[in-house]
Structure 1
Amino acid sequence: MTETRNDRTSGIWTLRPLPEMDEAQFRQWQELLEDRTGITLKAERRSFLQTNLGIRMREIGCDTYQAYYEKVVSGPGAIVEWATLVDRLTVQETRFFRDPDAYRLVSDYIMTRPREQLSRQPIEAWSVGCSTGEEPYTLAMLLDQSMRQLELKSLFGVTGSDISKPALEKAQRGLYGARKLVSTDADTRDQYFQASGGNEWEIDPALRQRVCFTQLNVLDLEQAPMHGMNIIFCQNLLIYFRQWRRREIVKRLTERLAPGGLLVLGQGELTDWHHPSLQRVPSDSVLAWIKRQTDEE
């Protein structure tokens, strides 16, 4: 792994090697990341960690992994630096309408709810690990479209939560490049986005008002203020955790689901798991459950 620098004496661009991360250093960072976020970094991800640490170390002029570790753990501004690093290590590539089958299930769920319930009680949806906001905004579009088809007033709200503050700040701005909309059909784009300069698209203000964002570490779900959610959408998040922690996270999410509510996970993220208050949705393409009306938790 190398970085480019300008040799001032010769005017020639040369390569300066960055430090290699040994096994002990990797384990130290592994333990810190898992202890604070629950995220498990497997051995084959060492180069990913080394690359991202190296970039940040260059930015702030830090020469060794140990020095940077001490800065993150106990140095001046450690809290801010840790937040910056977490953002680098956790924000993943996403887009609107990323999983068509899962979103189709959400639409079907709304369309089959009792009309009298939908007409008097707002639908509350929660996107867990929402990154830069594509998922919660997609849920808001689906809910709005479904209520319009049912000719009912759009009574709903969507909450997006994530550990990364910079990601949430971008989500709140609601401004996205065109490639984030590659899975969005033209009619939906024209209805819920406004063209902006530089080949960017802005979420329509009326829809943006339906979505709020909050910083939340999934290890702290017991303190989460969300309760009685009708839809909880949690995809491409659990893959970063150990199996026992995945089960614990989903158990906590189940506690915050309203009777009759829908819980959607990513395919393959949870195996051989059962909960007495959940009924599996029969589907070969989506991993989802409905919470039983008679809760025995």
Structure 2
Amino acid sequence: MNDDVSPRSFGHTLDDAGFAQIRDLVYQHFGIVLSEQKRGLVVGRLQRVLRDRGLTNFRDYIDLLLADKNGSLLAELANRMSTNHTHFWREPAHFLVFRESVLPWVQQVSPQRDLRLWCAAAATGEEPWTLAMIQRQFFAENYRHWQAGLVATDISEPALCIAEKGVYDNDRVQPLPQDLRALGMETMGGGRWRIRDEMRKDVMYRRFNLMAEKLPFKHPFHCIFIRNVMIYFDQDTRRRLIARLVNSLLPGGWLFVGHSESLGRDDANLEYVSPAVYRRKSESQ
């Protein structure tokens, strides 16, 4: 939806005080920064929520949000405010680094054959499915000897439903290299593709809010992908999130961010590898 849409071009209008309250709620709970330029987008995305709930104004909707005890309305707000536009093989250089550097490193440091990978902004599933295909291709016949599951999380429940269903239109799939497509997908006809059944057990999808102060994982990861989500956070939110992510990596573990989300090279706990690719420094560094 166009960010420049006027907040008065829809059936419901949002005054300054109401926008400030929604903006603060979104930032407090999800870390997303909504500038004044986003007001039209907020109004547009919440129109259907108001209609579905039989509300005639934003004031009543905000009162419901503030009184929300079980978090269902806040979850719905997160679904509306999150953006999940993506496609297969996005920013492909990262997938090449994963195949050519990360997986060989895991082979060296994991004699127990345990690969722990987290996609922290899974959106509609294109990224985690691609990584699962690369894992299977890399390990080939030895894949069955590895515990190479992948955790994929996102805050948007509708996006996760699409990811778990694993059905995509041809234009989303087309950028994926043909060898990976043949390995992990099958055509449904009519310009649609689906993830093969044998791939589905390789990825575990879960809803998770990155603003949680404690990450719900027992063991550190070899690799974390968190691409194209931190552009919606301010500097302080990014700094605190990165600190939690680094603490969730093994020494030498890999962190991939979006190309527009460079972390700089002054983090004492991270080593710059290549654009938007970092590694947690070992204890001896």
Asked if these proteins are the same fold (TM beyond 0.5), I'd say yes
Q: Secondary structure at the residue paired with 1:47?
A: helix
What is the alpha-carbon distance in structure 1 between the residues aligned to residue 86 and residue 126 of structure 2? Answer: 7
Q: Provide the aligned length of Structure 1 versus Structure 2.
A: 277
Moved over 6 A (4+): none
Q: Indicate the residue corresponding to 2:277 in structure 1.
A: 288
Tell me the CA shift for residue 271 of structure 1: 4.0
In structure 2, relative to structure 1, the CA distance for the partners of 1:19 and 1:185 (3 Å cut) is: same
**Equivalent position of 2:51 in the other structure:** 58
Structure with the largest fraction of strand: 1
Could you list the per-position Cα deviations for residues 84-106 of structure 1 after superposition, in whole angstroms to 9, with x for gaps in the alignment? 22112104111111111111111
| Residue equivalent to 2:65 | 72
1:131 equivalent in alignment to 2:123: yes
By how many angstroms is 1:228 displaced? 1.6
The Cα shift of 1:60 comes to: 2.5
1:163 equivalent in structure 2 = 155
**Equivalent in 217, 223, 236 of residue 225 of structure 1:** 217
* Amino acid in the other structure paired with 1:153: Y
For residues 180 and 49 of structure 1, the distance between their equivalents in structure 2, rounded to whole angstroms, comes to 26
Q: Distance in 1 between matches of 2:114 and 2:70?
A: 41
Report the Cα distance in structure 2 between the residues aligned to 1:141 and 1:122, rounded to whole angstroms.
17
Larger radius of gyration, structure 1 or 2? 1
CA shift in 2, pair 1:115/1:246, >3 Å: closer
The 5 A counterparts of 1:42-53 are: 42-53=35-46
- Structure 2: distance between partners of 1:78 and 1:54: 22
**Correspondence for 1:28:** 21
Q: Distance in 2 between matches of 1:280 and 1:167?
A: 31
2:89 to 68, 82, 97: 97
Q: Secondary structure at the match of 1:40?
A: coil
Contact kept in structure 2, 1:71 and 1:78, CA below 8 Å: no
Report the AA paired with residue 133 of structure 1: G
Q: Secondary structure at the match of 1:294?
A: coil
- Contact kept? 2:156, 2:207, Cα under 8 Å: yes
Give the whole-Å Cα distance in 2 for the aligned partners of 1:175 and 1:17.
Answer: 33
TM-score (norm 1): 0.84
Aligned Cα root-mean-square deviation (Å): 2.4
CA distance in 1, matches of 2:53, 2:22: 18
Which runs of 5 or more structure 2 residues have no equivalent in the other structure? none
Instruction: From the superposition, tell whether residues 111 and 216 of structure 1 become closer, same or farther in structure 2 (CA, over 3 Å).
Output: closer
Identity %, equivalent residues: 26
Amino acid at match of 2:89: F
Residue type of the partner of 1:140?
A
The aligned amino acid for 2:276 is L
Equivalent-residue separation in structure 1 for 2:171 and 2:29 (angstroms)? 33
Is the 1:159–1:214 Cα contact (8 Å) retained in structure 2? yes
Matches of 2:35 and 2:157, distance apart in 1: 24
Provide Cα deviations, 1:199-228, integer angstroms capped at 9, x if missing partner: 322111222111101111111152421532
Residues of 2 paired with 1:243 and 1:226: CA distance?
28
One-letter code aligned to 1:19: H
Give, in whole Å, the separation in 2 of the partners of 1:176 and 1:49. Answer: 27
> Within 1, Cα distance between the matches of 2:106 and 2:85?
36
Among candidates 199, 224, 232, match of residue 240 of structure 1: 232
Q: Which residue is equivalent to 1:262? A: 254
TM-score (norm 2): 0.88
Which residue, out of 258, 275, 282, partners 2:267? 275
Contact 2:168 2:192 in 1 (8 A): yes
Hey, what's the Cα distance between the residues in 1 that align with 2:200 and 2:181? 14
1:78, CA displacement in angstroms?
Answer: 6.4
Structure 1 unaligned regions, length at least 5: 3-15
Go from structure 1 to structure 2 and tell me whether the alpha carbon gap of 1:291 and 1:57 turns closer, same or farther (over 3 Å shift).
same
